[in-house]
Amino acid sequence: MSEVTVIGAEDRGTQQQFIEFPYQLYKNDPYWAPPLRIAQKDMLNQKKHPFYTHAEMQCFLAMRGSEVAGRIAAILDRNQFAPDRVGFFGFLEMTNSQPVADALLQAAWSWLKERGAKSMRGPVSPSTNYECGLLVEGFDSSPMVMMTYNPPYYSTLLERAGLKKAKDLLAYITTATATAGHKAMRVADRAMRSSKVVIRPVNMKDFQAEADVIWSIYSSAWSENWGFAPLTKEEFRVLAKDMKAIIVPELALVGEIGGRPVGFALAIPDINIALKPAGGSLFPFGLIKILYHQRKIKSLRVMALGVLEEFRTAGVAAGFYATLIRQAQRMGYGDCEFSWVLEDNILMNRSIEALGAQRYKTYRLYEGTNDYA
C-alpha cells in the first residue's frame, strides 16, 4: 500500500479534490445526504464568506499516490481563541485507515500549534454554528438538515490517534401528533399564560430586521454555553439568508413580553430529503429533483431555541415548544427532531424528554493534540 502524504489544498485543482472527496467516499452509502457543491464552495471561500473576517483556515488532503484518501481543515477562530487557546479541526473525511487519520490530524495540529494553539477540538465545519460533531450513535438513518453523518469507524480512528471526548451533543426524535397529545403540553400552556409571553411568527416582509433581533437574542442567550461561537451580525445575516428559502414562518417564532423580544425558536423542514436525489448538483436536473421532492417533506428539525436569561423561569421555552408542536401537527408534519442539545444541559434535556421525545443519535466533539509520546 502506498505511503500516506499530506498536501495543502490551496490551488483550484486541490480545492476541487477537497470538495469532491466525500461524494466518492459515500457514493454507495444510502444514509449520506450530499450537500450542494455550490454551498460547500461558498462555505470554503475565505475571500467572501464573513466567517473568515475573524478566522483563518488551512485545508489538507491525505494522498496515497495520486488518490485522495482523506481531507481535513485546521481552523483558527480568533473569536474563540482566548482564553483557552484552542484551535479547531473540521471538514474531516477519510478512508478506514489509521495512517491516514494520523497524518491528517498531525497536519492540522502542526498548523494550529505554529499559531499558538494549546489543543485542538472538533470536528466543527467550521464552527459550532454550522455542522459539528462526529456521529457515534444512530447510524441507521440519514441526518436531518445541518446535522452530520459519518461511518462508525471514524470514532475508532480518532481515539486511536489520541483524541478524547470533550462533549456529547444529543438528538431526540418524536412525532408532532404524539407530542401534541402529551400531558406536558398542558403544563406548557399554563406556564405560557403565567409568563404573559406573546409568541408570533417571524415577519418575512421585514426579514433582515427580524434576523437582527434574533441575532441579538442569540448573542446574549447562548453566550455562557459551552462551545459558544460568537457570530458577527454580518455572518448571522448570511446564515439567515441561506435558510430563508426553506423557513416556514409558522415554525420561526419570536416571543415577546410587554413588546420586548425575549426569545426565539426555529424549526425547519428536513430539506435533506429533497437534496439526496440531486446528488449535490443543481444542474442539469438537480434543481428539478429538489423542487419535486421538497413537496414530500413531512419531517422537521427543531434546531434553535433561545431565551434571555432573566426570562428562563417564566415559561417562555415551554411556550415555544407547545406552539411549534401544534403548528407542526396542524401543517401535517410527522417526525420532529430536537437537536442538538449538550449532554449536560439538564433543564433542556428534561424538557424535551417530558414531551415524550426519545434520544436516538449522539454526536461527539473530541479534543486533544496529535503529539505522540
- Return mean pLDDT, the chain: 90
Domain termination residue (choose one: 145, 170, 195):
170
**What total of structural domains would you count in the chain?**
2
For 174-183, the pLDDT digits (tens) are 998 888 777 7
- Identify whether residues 15 and 93 lie together within a single domain: yes
> Residue 373: inside a domain, yes or no?
no
pLDDT at 247 over 80: yes
Q: What is the CATH number of the domain that holds 321?
A: 3.40.630.30
Would the pLDDT of 289 be above 80?
no
H/E element, 8: strand 4-8
The gap from C-alpha 199 to its chain's centroid, in whole angstroms, comes to 25
Q: What are phi and psi of 161, to 5 degrees?
A: -80, -5
Segment 201-229 shows an average pLDDT of 92
304, part of any domain: yes
pLDDT per position as a tens digit, 79-126: 888 778 999 999 999 999 999 999 999 999 999 999 999 999 999 999
Identify whether residues 31 and 65 lie together within a single domain: yes
- Give the span between the Cα atoms of 241 and 70, in whole angstroms: 31
Instruction: Read off the C-alpha cell for 24.
Output: 466518492
Domain-located, residue 265: yes
| Residue at 347: amino acid letter | L
161 and 19 part of one domain: yes
Residue 282's pLDDT is: 65
In a domain, 369, yes or no: no
Residue 370 lies in a domain: no
Same domain, 219 and 321: yes
> Any idea which of 51-60, 150-159, 249-258 has the lowest mean pLDDT?
249-258
| In-domain check, residue 254 | yes
108/197 same-domain check: no
Q: Are residues 225 and 311 in the same domain?
A: yes
pLDDT of residue 292: 47
Comparing 1-5, 17-21, 60-64, 73-77, the range with the smallest average pLDDT is 1-5
What are the cell numbers at 139? 447510524
Single out the residue in 129, 155, 170 at which a domain terminates. 170
Q: Is residue 65 part of a domain?
A: yes
Q: What are phi and psi of 252, to 5 degrees?
A: -120, 105
Percentage with pLDDT > 90 across the chain: 66
User: Do 184 and 148 lie in a common domain?
Assistant: no
> Domain check: are 193 and 215 in the same one?
yes
pTM of the predicted model as reported, rounded to 2 decimal places = 0.93
Pair 158, 12 in one domain:
yes
User: What's residue 179's pLDDT?
Assistant: 81
User: How many whole angstroms separate alpha carbon 73 and alpha carbon 70?
Assistant: 11
Considering the domain architecture, whether residues 50 and 160 belong to the same structural domain is answered as: yes
pLDDT in tens, 9-36: 999 999 999 999 999 999 999 999 999 8
pLDDT, average across residues 135-148: 96
Domain encompassing residue 91: 4-170
User: Can you tell me the distance from the alpha carbon of 176 to that of 178, in angstroms, rounded to the nearest whole number?
Assistant: 6
Least confident of 161-175, 190-204, 254-268, 288-302: 288-302
Q: Are residues 213 and 314 in the same domain?
A: yes
277 and 340, same domain (yes or no): yes
- The percent of residues above 70 in pLDDT, for the chain, comes to 94
pLDDT over threshold 70, residue 268: yes
- Per-residue pLDDT band at 293 (split at 50, 70, 90): low
At 287 the pLDDT is 54
Q: Does residue 51 surpass a pLDDT of 50? A: yes
Q: CB of 257 within 8 A of CB of 302?
A: no
Amino acid identity, position 207 = F
> What band does 218 get if pLDDT is binned at 50, 70 and 90?
very high
Q: Where does a domain end: 140, 170, 200? A: 170
